[in-house]
Every structure is written in structure tokens, then in C-alpha cells.
Amino acid sequence: MPPLSIMILGGGPPPSLQTPLPFVYPRYTHAYSLYVSNPGSSILCLSAGTFHVPNLVHCGLPVVESHPCAIHMVNLGVPSEDVHVDTMSLDTLGNAWWGISAISVRGMPLDVAVVTSEFHVDRSMFAYEWAAEGKGIKVIEEAVPDVGMDEEGLAGRVKREAESLEMYKIKREVYPDLADYLFTEHGLYSGKGVVGRMGRGGERGCDKIDEPTRRSYGGSWDDGEQPRMWREAAMLAVGFLVGFLINVRKGRDKNKD
């Protein structure tokens, strides 16, 4: 079997470093089985978190979702040198762009296994195919069963998945290159999008989703502002990601010259 770049997509902040979300843990075990059956593979744990709920806090600092994922993969038996982490992406499109970008940066295999839950796989595959277009990368679907989530939460996630996928299709028509959409108008990765989403002083408040769906993301907090520390850390991550993109673009321009 050829080596794979095994991408474990984020599902939400875990309740502790040792305890993953129940519906996310099958992604870990399936990724491990792919790693064992495809020698030479690499694993990329994705996601810095989500703007729907706060991240786990450890020693007074926010913990990005990919870090507990990496710990679990090493505990399952994957050598730490074969486990990489994404500390920038905050949604599925970010997972896809960062994951595809990491392949060239880290020299990872060009066959990409997208490991996520069944309810999430259609949107994830669309996002990865969008990010990988024209790059000679093969994207492979690796869905795991929808277990460990209550019926109301799953129904809410399925509804959001369908709505988001339709939006992706519209945006791809306008922006064939995913990076152009992310850093031009996306609500998490562009200045224009952030101001449009939050207002100039954060006056537009938090995202409003129903409580069962919000619980499915792994956190629960009262209406109002997210903890200041997590908000600032998330925006710092966005800043690093934009800086990375600028460097990539500069390198691309040099190659053209």
C-alpha cells in the first residue's frame, strides 16, 4: 500500500487532554489503522479550535485541539516524528487549506486520506478537493460512523453541514483558488471578514446556534463574550496564518520570475 498523508479533521475541543470527544475518538483509531497498514505514512492532527465554543484550558492557557489529538496518536503507537500538528485552522475550510499546504512544507505523501465522521465527510471532501485543485494531490475519503453524539446534536450538525456545503459551492464558483476566498472575505481569516463578523469593537457578539448543536462541539458557555484569553489567542493564530500565506505567495512570485 502506498504511504498516505493521514489528515484527522477537528471535531471540537475535548473535555480534557486525556478524554477526546466520543464522536472524534473513532477518527483517531481509524487513522491509526491506516498508518499501520500503509508504511511510510504521516499523520496530521488538524484544528486550533472553533469559534462556536471555547478551547480547553490547561495551566492557564488555551489548548488547541490538535495537541490532544497528537498525544492520543502517540499513545496509540504512532512515533512522534510521524505526527504533525496544525495550530492555525479554525473550521473545515481552514483544515483543508492548512492540510494541503503542509504537504509541500513537510514533504508529506501526495495521497491524502481525509479522516472524519460520516455527517462531516461530504463537506470535508469538497473542501479538500477545492484546496488540492491543480496540485497533483489525490484526495481519499475515509469516513467513520457517527457514534457518540446525541440525536439532537447530530441533527443540528447535519443541517449545518448541508447549508455550509451549498455556500462552499457558491464561493468556489467565484474563487477557484481556496486561498483567495479565505484571505479575501472569509469571516475567520480575512480582515474584511473578521470586521464583518464581529464588528469593529466586537459589538456583534457571539455566534448564535441552538444549544444541542453547540454542545456537540464539545463546550458549553453562557451567551456573551468568549473568554478574552481564548479570543486573543485565536486572533494571534489567524495572524500567524496570514503571515505564512504572505511568505508562500512571495515564494510563488519568485518562482514565476
Give 145-150's long-range contacts (Cβ < 8 A, gap of 24+).
Answer: 145/26, 145/117, 145/118, 146/23, 146/117, 146/118, 146/119, 147/22, 147/23, 147/26, 148/21, 148/22, 148/23, 148/24, 148/25, 148/26, 149/22, 149/23, 149/216, 150/212, 150/215, 150/216
Q: Tell me the per-residue pLDDT of 22-40, one tens digit each, with 9 for 90 and over.
A: 999 999 999 999 999 999 9
Check residues 2 and 33 and name the one with the higher pLDDT.
33
Q: Please say if the pLDDT value at position 62 is more than 70.
A: yes
Structural domain including 131 reads: 5-256
Tally of structural domains, the chain: 1
Interval 131-151 mean pLDDT: 95
Q: Which of 48-57, 137-146, 149-158, 187-196 has the highest mean pLDDT?
A: 137-146
Check residues 241 and 116 and name the one with the higher pLDDT.
116
Tell me, what CATH number does 236's domain have? 3.40.50.620
Q: What is the DSSP annotation of 225-240?
A: PPPHHHHHHHHHHHHH
Quote the mean pLDDT of the chain: 86
- The confidence score (pLDDT) of residue 196 equals 86
Query: Can you read off the three cell numbers belonging to residue 200?
Result: 469593529
- Residue 80 phi, psi (nearest 5): -60, -30
Question: Kind and range of the H or E element at 172?
Answer: helix 151-174
Q: Tell me the pLDDT band of 241, cut-offs 50, 70 and 90.
A: low
Q: Tell me the pLDDT band of 225, cut-offs 50, 70 and 90.
A: very low
